[in-house]
């Protein structure tokens, strides 16, 4: 389980994937989301620019990330 500390009100999903180096590029991040590889709080998340807030749990590629 990894934690991502917010420094603003929210972080967009594709930006989070790039910041944590889960995706190598923005295009790669978009493909990961479009392919349904991301779960947000246990539900599939297909919105690339979904605004993640404190308390959200993201699961992608075998990793769990908690937004704090």
CATH of the domain at 49: 3.10.290.10
Residues 14/29, Cβ–Cβ less than 8 Å: yes
CB 26, CB 14: distance < 8 Å:
yes
Q: What is the mean pLDDT of the chain?
A: 97
Per-residue b/e over 31-57, b at no fewer than 16 CB within 10 Å? ebbeeeebebeeeebeebebebeeebe
Can you give the pLDDT at residue 66?
98
Taking only the tens place, the pLDDT of each residue in 25-38 is 999 999 999 999 99
If one counts the domains in the chain, the total is 1
Q: Note the pTM of the prediction, 2 decimals.
A: 0.92
Residue 43 belongs to what domain range?
2-67
């Amino acid at each position: 389980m990894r934690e991502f500390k917010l420094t603003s009100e929210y972080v967009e999903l594709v930006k989070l994937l790039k910041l944590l180096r889960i995706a190598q590029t923005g295009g790669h991040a978009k493909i990961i989301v479009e392919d349904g590889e991301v779960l947000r709080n246990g539900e599939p998340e297909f919105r690339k620019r979904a605004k993640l807030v404190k308390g959200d749990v993201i699961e992608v590629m075998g990793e769990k990330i908690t937004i704090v």
